[in-house]
A and B are shown apart, each in its own frame.
Chain A
Amino acid sequence: QVQLVQSGAAVKKPGASVKVSCKASGYIFTNYDVHWVRQATGQGLEWMGWMNPNSENTGYAQNFQGRVTMTRDTSISTAYMELSGLRSEDTAVYYCARGGFWGGSGYHFYMDVWGKGTTVTVSS
């Protein structure tokens, strides 16, 4: 079945980097955009950015510009999100999700398949 399997929880020190993986199965990986969304405890969903696995084009939310990098390895149908310069406020559950495409009248923004989430804790 169609699924996204994310890497396990991580604990990092302030200033470090974390790289979360998201392995796709059950569909053609390069046919769908991959988005990354996070949720800090008690907060709402926050969109971080997207990547087109075919072209490797990316777009990042302003809040993460300069700190986030989204990449992929098509040979293993896996997307990656690396966040650097971690601070305590980055403690959150990070989700990858499939979906969205550019149509004639703009971007169809939706995510129809989600990973189960990766908890990243930033603590000294």
Chain B
Amino acid sequence: QSVLTQPPSVSAAPGQKVTISCSGSSSNIGNTYVSWYQHLPGTAPKLLIYDNNKRPSGIPDRFSGSKSGTSATLDIAGLQTGDEADYYCGTWDTSLIAGVFGGGTKLTVL
């Protein structure tokens, strides 16, 4: 059971927009910064968003992140078939004094 809760799966058509949620608590998301990762099978995870809403260089602006209270969201606009992957949120938990990840969300681009 993950400390952060994500929907197991989301789907949308190419060109559409999808939102992936990440729900936590006051000891993690509510108190610190959220990051988001894209993970394709057999490859290393890739950082998409850090510090709630910042994109590393090279990440297209189709990917955006936000945080409100104890929840965070990742929006992916203009979906492409290459976006099919597992997506994870991550943050620091000040009670556990540890990093934590959500359980992951599998994105299917129909």
- Which residues of A are interface residues toward B (Cβ below 8 A)? 35, 37, 44-47, 49-50, 59-62, 95, 97, 99-100, 105-112, 114-117
Q: How far is the CA of A59 from the CA of B96 in the complex (A)?
A: 10
B91–A109 contact, CB under 8 A? yes
Residue from A95, A105, A110 within 8 A of B44 (CB atoms): A95
Residue from A45, A62, A108 within 8 A of B101 (CB atoms): A45
A-B residue pairs in contact (CB < 8 Å), sample of 14 = A37-B101, A45-B39, A45-B90, A47-B98, A60-B98, A106-B31, A106-B92, A108-B51, A109-B91, A110-B51, A111-B45, A111-B90, A112-B50, A117-B44
| Closest-CB distance, B99 to chain A (whole angstroms) | 4
Chain A residues whose CB sits within 8 angstroms of the CB of B104 once the complex forms: 44-45
Secondary structure at the B interface, as helix, strand, loop or mixed, is strand
A47–B101 contact, CB under 8 A? yes
Q: How far is the CA of A91 from the CA of B91 in the complex (A)?
A: 25
Chain B residue nearest to A44 (CB atoms) is B104
Q: Mark B74-103, 1 if CB is under 8 A from A, else 0.
A: 000000000000101011101011111111
Interface residues of B in 19-67 (CB under 8 A from A): 31-35, 37, 39, 43-47, 50-51, 56
B68 on interface, CB distance cutoff 8 Å: no
A44–B90 contact, CB under 8 A? no
B47–A110 contact, CB under 8 A? yes
Chain B residue nearest to A50 (CB atoms) is B99
8 additional contacts, CB 8 Å, given A46-B101, A99-B47?
A44-B104, A45-B88, A106-B32, A108-B32, A108-B50, A109-B32, A110-B50, A111-B37
Residue from B35, B39, B98 within 8 A of A110 (CB atoms): B35
Residue from A59, A110, A111 within 8 A of B97 (CB atoms): A59
A62–B96 contact, CB under 8 A? yes
A35–B50 contact, CB under 8 A? no
Chain A residues whose CB sits within 8 angstroms of the CB of B51 once the complex forms: 108, 110
Interface centre among A59, A61, A107, A110 (most CB of B within 10 A): A110
